[in-house]
Structures are given as structure tokens and as C-alpha cells.
Amino acid sequence: MTNPDPGGRSDPERPATYIRFDGMLGYVENGFNLIAAFSILSLMLLAVAQVLGRLVLNAPIPGFIDITEQAMAIFAFMGVAYCQRVGGHIRMEIVLGKLHGRTLYICEMLGVILIAFTVALLIWGSWFHFDRSWNFGDSTMDIRLPTWPSKLVIPVALSVLFLRLLLQIYGYARLVANPDRDPVGVPVIHDVEEVAKHEIEEALGDDAGKGGAK
Amino acid sequence: MTPFDVGMMMTGVLLVLVILGVRVAFAAAFTGLVGLIIHFSMMQGFERGFMTAIKMAGTIPHSKSVTYALSVLPTFILIGFLAFYAGFTKQLFEAAKRWLGWLPGGMAVGTVFSTAGFAAVSGASVATAAVFARVAIPEMLANGYSKRLSAAVVAAGGTLASLIPPSAILVIYAILVEQSVGKLLIAGFLPGVFSALVYVAIIVGVSAWRGDAPAIKGFTWKQRFESIPGTLPIIAVIAIIFCSFFFGLATPTEAGSLGAFVVLMVAFAKGMKTKQLFQALHETAKLTVMIFTLIWGVLVYVRFLGFAGLPDAFRDFIVALEFSPWLIMICILLAYAVLGMFMDAIGMLILTLPVVYPAVMALNGGEGVSAADSTFGMSGEACAIWFGILVVKMAELCLITPPIGLNCFVVSGVRPDIPVQEVFRGCVPFFAADVLTIAGLLAFPSIITFLPALMG
Amino acid sequence: ADVTWNVSLWGKRRAFTEHVEKLAEEVKARTNGAFEIKLHYGGALSKSRENLDGISFGAFEMAQFCASYHADKNPTLTVLELPFLGVSDLETEVKVSKALYEHPAVQQDLGRWNAKLLMPSPMPQYNFAGKGDVPASISDFEGMRVRALGGLGKLMEAAGAVPTSVTASETYQAIDSGTVQAAGFAPHAHLSFKVVEVADWWTKNLNPGTVHCPVVVNVDAYNALSDEFKAALDESVDPAIAHYLDTYAAVYDKWWPELENRGITQIEFSDDELASFSEKAGPIHAAWVEEQSANGLPAQEILDMVKKTIAE
Ligand code: NA
Ligand code: NA
């Protein structure tokens, strides 16, 4: 099996179907995160245009605040599944860090099940929120942009997260069944040193974080 | 069961979940959701109550994320990621070395000032420590500085980034407590500088006493002035950001965007590649979504608390305590110090503020209290700003304290030849400096409130 | 209490919320405490923009909101936000609001949200406070950057001004720094957002319009009330409004001296100037009728009814 894995994970003993779904979902997640990244870049350019337009041309962008607010749903939500995949949502690892083997995987699995339950209900609730704005109407305060597109982003992004969580539940379940398997598709727990290494990579770029002390 | 009982019970559940390692954002959303279901089931019966709870919870992610004031966050984060590529680190450090090297421990003093300068374009403490570990530590070691001091000064200097604007954590505080983002950011400036000066005093004192950190002499005035042009881009960015906030020339989001734009241009001029921009954007997006998830997740829980009436109850409890308000304040700060040893700074603030902040405000005499009628001798607004800077300073302190002082691990990670225990030991004087700083901020609140008061 | 209702409000307790305070007090007295109305400030139960959503699924029984926060959620109510309707005082606004609430199309509009209109929170006319050269005539607004949202923004645009996005809390700084030259608020908001501290002038008699902010109740909760409680609630509305009007009058006791003390120029436009300003409102009224008629609302009928009630 040589499915490309966008997360860069590899494993000798790969459950094929699972890996394939994981890979496809990975592409979707990466794409969503890319959209979020570009929405940030666009927001920055829009704000620069707003300032210059106002100061230089006396022509600010009409409804700048309305546009910014509605667009915020993109970078606030589109990367949520990607962030879960790479273990980016913060947590305390004081207790988990002490656990090993099956106990650890059971705890991790229960944690993800709890998240999946929450996210499922939130998808439902946020869909209702979208549905009201779609059926009854809703618009922003200044230039009356419809709010439903922005409200739709939430159940969509959370649905991708939900799929990711299902995969992680499966990933932990197969480790609970046999803790000696290599972990696939689940973020491995980092101790503080590894967290630090990640932070360094993020601050200095790919080539860093290997501890080059030259 | 009263709504209040449900509130207490679910708060207990949340604590257990967080300690057990459930991701904080979702642990809070889960607790809030279940709490809402129980609450509305008690009011309306399970079938109706369940749907009411789901629909109520479902409004929060959009409602709370789509808030203009929060749009400044990704711009600040982006500035931080790009500042390294723009080459700000080296030039700052070079200039600081040439101008301040003659002091006892001069290189370390230079490191503190250059981290403070970098803090003015970076919103993240950990990233600041990471980049300076690369630039400053080798030079200090080459000049005969001990590993312990070199590493510690970088770890400690890095913490300045969350006080000196721009600072993501101060923005989050401002939004949670509904105060002006611009004022909170400006308020962090003097305490950041004050912190840096206390660090410098400690370095000069300890170095003069121990003699293990030689002064660097022999730079001519010509060489000193030659180091200035290299720092101009960073000074320009600082000026843009600071003036925008202080004089209100642009909103925080606009200022953050202008700053990010200028840093981006400088970074491109300094040879940053498109691939690196992509990487910076990717990391910015990841950190942004992490923070937003945390915000709305916790706000689901806070909405439930609102229905349960818990913040009001905690406020009444604190106000009814018969201890001196100053003692209560110090206890609250100590509690933050302990919590911060085990928790991420942003997570800690978002999780605790909705309950703690109203209590602190009530302790001072309420939101609208005048300075004359207040407990701590400052108006409601000033107290909100003062408390914000204090808790952020507490959160920063935890970056250099064991067991998980992340800055120390980062420095040790960049320099594997320096064990993390060594960095923690080196941080002891800086820990003392921070305690002094916090005492100073408690005793002289005007260090915090002076600049924001000028803004009107 | 036998029945407890929660009210979702945003911000602090202020003149704008005093009728709800009074309503709770009156209802409690009339039912000997058996019907309790609990006020929740600071958006603890919902953000202001989502108050109608919360009402629709019964998370709370009563809420206040402003029609302009989400025009498309409550298109019929926005008729009262059209510019230059000629509402001269709060009493007139109460009168026209009550008439509007009786209209079946309006009840149907709010009925989609499971909401029943209980009472208005009449707001004074928005006027502009600004810094710099005093605009003596309408043409002086040409090119002026103003903070004016929605319909007011459209009107100012028609007069040649440049509506500029600024949040309410940032207005003080925005005017001080020249990001905008003027902002349109009701007087109490000019006070609370500290616009008066930087303003040089105020358009005393421009009176271009205002926002409409009703208090609504959840229909199911209302229908579930016993006849006695229902009567207690309904009968409490008039005393609540009367109390509200008194409180607002007190706000003006602070407003006029504030203008005097700060030496703020109070601009009184001539009748001719006002007429040429209100001419700009004509097309905006027409556009509203056209848009809402296309949405299937009896827009012309509603507008005529409003104008007639105001003229009475
Ligand atoms: Na900073
Ligand atoms: Na720590």
C-alpha cells in the first residue's frame, strides 16, 4: 500500500481502508486550513486597503467591519479538524503523560469519544442556527450582508472535525485491542521537550528544531 | 437540585476532565452543553429542554467568534511568525550589544533589550525565546558567559513579548472582560519596559558580584551609530503599531494588518521565500483556530454558567470574605501562579476569567466605581486594566518556572548542550526579578494605568 | 415564585433598560411575588444580535433587541428606522410603535421567531456630533467621513458624506484622531461613548431618524400564563413606559448642561436646509417599499399607517 499521507505519517502495519480514509480526509483538512490561511492574508490586505483608502483617497471600504466579521468564520473554523489531527488543541498532559500502554489508549479513546459526542451535538445546534438565518432571514448591521454563508461554515467545518474524531476513535480502539501496534492516525503524546521542539520549528522554520547549535 | 448546584457540579466535572487531559476547548464545550441540557430539562422537561440546550449551544460558536475585536488576533500572530524572516533579531541584538556591552553582564543586558524590542513586533513569548536562543546564546558563550546565564536570560527575556504590544493574550483578555483592546495593549507597554529594567538591574548586580559575565568594551561611537540603520525597519513597525493604538489612527485590526504587511515586505526584501510565507501562514492559521476554538468552547460553558448564575454567586462569595481585599488579591495571583505551572497561559486565562474577573471588579467596588470610592484606589476601568496586566505577568512568570516552564525547554531544545535543569537554575534570579516586578505593579498601579489614562 | 421568566439584556442597567426593571417590579407587586421576572444583563444569556434566536427556541421568555441589528430578521420593524418620518418626541414614538405592533403583518413577521411584541424602548432622534469645521448647510457634509450605520448611513451617503466603519466603542478615538469627523448617536450614547469630549458641534434639529428597539416575549410562554398573570403583565406595560420616559427626561437634564459646559456649537438648520435634507429621504422610503413589497409584505400600507399615526 502506498497511499500518500498528507500528515507525513508512515507505518509498517497499515490498516489499508483506514489509511485511505485518513489520507483523503487529510487532503480535505489541509485544503480547509489553506483556505483559512489565505483568508488571514486577505483580511490583512483588506485592512491595509481600508486604511490607505481612508487616509489617502477618502474612500474607505463600505461595510469593512461587516465584511471582516463575516469572513472571520473562515479562519476561526476551517482549520479546526487540521488542528485536531496534529494535536494542536491545547490540553494538560500531567496525568496522561504518566500513563502507558492500554490504560493510556483507553483514556485517549474516551477523551475523543467525549469530544465527538460534543461536536455531533454542536453540528446539530449550529445547523439550526444556520437554518434560521436561511429560512427567516438575517443580515449584518451596516451593509446588510446575509449571514447564512458564514453560519454555514460552522456545521461544515465541525463535520470534517467529526469525521477526524471518528477516525481517531478507531485509531485508539485498535491500540486498545493491541497496545503493541504502531499508532496510526492518532496524535502521539508529546512530553515537554517535544512540545518545545515543535515550538522551535514553528518559530524558526522547517530546518530548525533539530537542535543545530552552530 | 437548584441551577446553582448544577453549575457547581458541572464545574467540578470540567476540572476533572481538564486534569485528565481532555482538550480544554472541548472539555469546556462538553461541560457547557451537558450543563445546558440539565438546566433546560429541569425547566422544560427533557424532550423540550434537550432541544433548547442544543439550539442555544449551537448559536455560540458563530456568535462569539464573529466579533470584530477578535479579528486582530491572526494579524498579531502573523507578525510574530514573519518577524524572524525579516531578520529583526540579529540587527537588534547587534545594536544592543554595541550600545550596552560596556555594562557588567553587558551582553546579557543587550539580550534583554533586544528581546524587549523584538517583543514589540512579536506576540508570542515562546517564539521570541526560540529565535534569540539561536542569535544571542552563541555570542554570549564566545565572550565567556556561563551557559546558565546565557540560556536563562533568553528564556526570561522571551516572556516580555506578551506584555509589550502586540500581544495576543492581552487582546483575548480585553475581549473577555469587554474592555478596550487598544488601551489594554498600550497598558502592557510600561510594565514590559519596567520588567526589562528589573531584569537588567538583576543582571548588572549579579554579574558585578560574581564576575562571570564580562563587559564587552571597545566599540567606537562610529560603530555604534552604524548599527542603527539595521534596526530602522523594526523601529518603523513598532512606530506604526504603537502610534496606531495610542493616537487611534487605526483600529487594532488595521494596525496589526499594517504591521504584518510591513514585516512581510521587509521579510521579502530580506530574501524570504514564498514557501516560507506559506509555512508562516499555515502556522498562523493553526494557532488562530486553536485560540478561537478555545474561546468559543469555553464560552459555551460560560453561557451555561450565566443560566446557572454561578459568576454572581462567586462574586458575592469573594466580596463577603472578611479578609483584606489586598490579601484576597494576592491569593488570587498566587492561585494563578500555581495554575500556570501546569496550564497553558491562554487556556488558563480563558477558563478562569469569566468567574474570577467579576469577583475582582466587585472587590474593587464595581464596574462603574470612581477611584475615590474604590477599594484599590482606581476606577473600574483602571482596575480592569491593572488586573489584566497582573494576570498576564503571572502567566508569563510560569514560562520560566518548573515543572513545565516552556521557555526553558525551548531554549534547551535549541541548545541541546544546555540541560533544561541548568536553564531553570539560571532563571532563579529572573524569577526573583519577576516577583519584584509584580510587587512593584501591585504597589504602583500607575505604571500600568498611566498610558491608557492619557488615551482618554 | 410560581412562574419565573428570564429576560436577556445586553450592557449595563441604564435608562434604556429602566422600563424592563419597572415592568418586573409592577408584575411582582400585582401578583404578590408569584410571577417573577429576572433580568440578566451583560449578554449573559445571549449576545444582543441573537436575542431573537433565543426567543424562538424558548431559551428565555423575554428579550430586548434593536431592529437595525439585523434588518432582515425583522423587516417590518425597520419601517420605524426610515429617515425623516417626522417623529418629534418619545411620546409620539410610543404611539406609533404601539400602532405598528397591532398590524397583522408585523405580528406575523415576529411570529416566525415565536415572538410577541410587548413594548417599545423609544429612542431619541440620532443626531451628529463632530469635530472640526461646523457644518452650516447640508453641502458641508460633502466628503465628510461619518460613523453612521444602515439607513442613516444611506441618508448621509445621499447627502455626499462618506459612511465609515467604526465600532461604537472606538468612536471616541476615531473622532479624536480624525479617522471619522462625526458620528450619529442618540444623546445618551454620545455621552456614554464620550463623543461629547471630543466634539465641537452637534446637529440640534437635524433629527434624521432613530433605531427601533422593542421588548418581546416568547409566544408559548405568554400563552401558558394564567389569565391573572397575563393581565398583570399587560397592565404593567403602561406604567413601565411612563417610568422609562421619566428616566429619559433625566438624561436630558445632563445633556444640555454638558453641551453648554463643553462649549459645543448647537447647529440649528433652517427650514429650507431641513427640507432639502429630507428630500434625500424620499428615494430611501420608496426603495424600502419596493424591497419589502417584493418580499411579500404590505409595505406601502404599513408606511402609510405609520405616517398617518405620526401626523395625528
Ligand atoms: Na509583544
Ligand atoms: Na511552568
Instruction: Provide ipTM, 2 decimals.
Output: 0.91
Q: What is the average per-residue pLDDT within B379-385?
A: 90
Determine the Cα–Cα distance for residues B394 and B341; give it in Å rounded to an integer.
10
> How far does residue B142's CA lie from ligand 1's centre (Å)?
29
Q: How many helices (H) and strands (E) does chain A have?
A: 6, 0
Ramachandran bin of A100, using left for φ above 0, alpha for ψ from -120 to 50, beta for the remaining angles: beta
> Are the beta carbons of B27 and A192 separated by less than 8 Å?
no
Q: What is the average per-residue pLDDT within C195-208?
A: 90
What residues of chain B lie within 8 A of the CB of C177, using their CB? 247-249
Which pLDDT score, from 0 to 100, does residue A213 have?
31
Contacts of B346 by beta carbon, 8 Å cutoff, 6+ apart: A90, B168, B169, B172, B291, B294
* CB-neighbour burial class of residue B18 (10 A; exposed 0-12, middle 13-18, buried 19+): buried
> Are the beta carbons of A44 and B75 separated by less than 8 Å?
yes
Ligand nearest to the CA of B427: 2
Q: How confident is the model at residue C77 (pLDDT cuts 50, 70, 90)?
A: very high
Which pLDDT score, from 0 to 100, does residue A214 have?
28
Give per-residue burial for B94-120: e unless 16+ CB within 10 Å, then b: bbbbbbbbebbbbbbbbbbbbbbbbbb
Position A10 pLDDT exceeds 80: no
> How far does residue A92's CA lie from ligand 2's centre (Å)?
12
Determine the Cα–Cα distance for residues C128 and A58; give it in Å rounded to an integer.
19
Distance from CA of C292 to the nearest CA of A (A): 13
Across chain A, mean pLDDT equals 85
> Are the beta carbons of B250 and A45 separated by less than 8 Å?
no
Q: How far is CA C302 from the centre of its chain?
A: 18
What residues of chain C lie within 8 A of the CB of B68, using their CB? 167
List strand residue ranges (DSSP E) for C1-87, in order.
Answer: 3-8, 35-40, 62-64
Q: How many helices (H) and strands (E) does chain B have?
A: 23, 0
Higher-confidence residue: C31 or B131?
A: C31
What percentage of chain A carries pLDDT values higher than 90?
56
Task: Chain B: list its partners (3+ Cβ pairs within 8 Å).
Answer: A, C
Which pLDDT score, from 0 to 100, does residue A209 have?
40
Closest residue on chain B to A31 (Cα): B282
Residue in the structure block whose three cell numbers are 526584501: B269
The partner residue sitting opposite C50, judged by closest CB among B63, B247, B249, is B63
Q: How far is CA B293 from the centre of its chain?
A: 18
What residues of chain A lie within 8 A of the CB of C70, using their CB? 138-141, 147
> How far does residue B172's CA lie from ligand 1's centre (Å)?
13
Q: Looking at the whole model, is its pTM more than 0.80? A: yes
Q: What is the average per-residue pLDDT within B391-401?
A: 89
Determine the Cα–Cα distance for residues A76 and C258; give it in Å rounded to an integer.
43
Using one digit for the tens of pLDDT, what is the confidence trace for B296-328? 998 999 899 889 888 888 878 888 888 888 899
Q: How far is CA A58 from the centre of its chain?
A: 39
Query: Which has the closest alpha carbon to B165: B404, B13, B392, B341?
Result: B392
> Are the beta carbons of A95 and B261 separated by less than 8 Å?
no
Across A13-27, B92-106, C116-130, the highest mean pLDDT is recorded for: C116-130
What residues of chain A lie within 8 A of the CB of B74, using their CB? 40, 43-44, 75
> Are the beta carbons of B65 and A209 separated by less than 8 Å?
no
Residue in the structure block whose three cell numbers are 507505518: A11
Neighbours of A135 (CB within 10 A): 10
Range list of H helices, chain C = 18-30, 51-56, 90-102, 104-111, 150-158, 171-177, 187-192, 219-224, 227-261, 271-279, 281-294, 299-311
Which pLDDT score, from 0 to 100, does residue A45 have?
96
Between A76-85, B241-250, B288-297, B410-419, the lowest mean confidence (pLDDT) is in: B241-250
> Are the beta carbons of A141 and C145 separated by less than 8 Å?
no
Position A211 pLDDT exceeds 70: no
Higher-confidence residue: B244 or B329?
A: B329
Query: Cβ of A103 under 8 Å from any chain B Cβ?
Result: no
The partner residue sitting opposite B68, judged by closest CB among A36, A69, A79, is A69
> How far does residue B445's CA lie from ligand 1's centre (Å)?
21
Using one digit for the tens of pLDDT, what is the confidence trace for B207-251? 888 777 788 877 888 888 888 888 888 888 888 888 887 787 888
Across chain B, mean pLDDT equals 88
Distance from CA of C99 to the nearest CA of B (A): 32
Q: How confident is the model at residue C28 (pLDDT cuts 50, 70, 90)?
A: very high
Q: What is the average per-residue pLDDT within B183-192?
A: 90
Q: What is the average per-residue pLDDT within C98-118?
A: 96
First to last CA, chain C: 43
Which pLDDT score, from 0 to 100, does residue B389 have?
95
What sign does the dihedral C38-C42-C45-C48 (CA atoms) show?
A: positive
Give the number of A-B residue pairs with CB atoms closer than 8 Å.
Answer: 258
Which pLDDT score, from 0 to 100, does residue C136 have?
86
Distance from CA of C47 to the nearest CA of B (A): 7
> How far does residue C308's CA lie from ligand 2's centre (Å)?
70
What is the domain range of residue A101? 2-213
Q: What is the average per-residue pLDDT within B14-30?
A: 91
Higher-confidence residue: B23 or B366?
A: B23
Structural domain count of chain A = 1
Which pLDDT score, from 0 to 100, does residue C25 have?
97
Here the cell at position B397 is 512568570
Higher-confidence residue: A7 or A134?
A: A134
What residues of chain A lie within 8 A of the CB of B79, using their CB? none
Higher-confidence residue: A162 or C248?
A: A162
Starting at the edge strand that comes first in sequence, how are the strands of the sheet with C62-64 ordered? Answer: C35-40, C3-8, C62-64, C214-218, C115-120
Asked if C155 and C208 touch (Cβ cutoff 8 Å), the reply is yes
Position A1 pLDDT exceeds 50: no
Ligand nearest to the CA of B79: 1
Distances (CA, A) of C265 to C192, C201, C241: 19, 4, 32
Across chain C, mean pLDDT equals 91
* Kind of pairing between the strands at C214-218 and C62-64: antiparallel
Distance from CA of A207 to the nearest CA of B (A): 11
Radius of gyration of chain C (CA): 20
What percentage of chain B carries pLDDT values higher than 90?
33
Which pLDDT score, from 0 to 100, does residue A76 have?
96
Determine the Cα–Cα distance for residues B451 and B80; give it in Å rounded to an integer.
24
Q: How far is CA B141 from the centre of its chain?
A: 29
Which pLDDT score, from 0 to 100, does residue A210 have?
41
What percentage of chain C carries pLDDT values higher than 70?
100
Which pLDDT score, from 0 to 100, does residue A190 have?
63
Ligand nearest to the CA of B122: 1
Asked if C302 and C79 touch (Cβ cutoff 8 Å), the reply is yes
Q: How confident is the model at residue A14 (pLDDT cuts 50, 70, 90)?
A: low
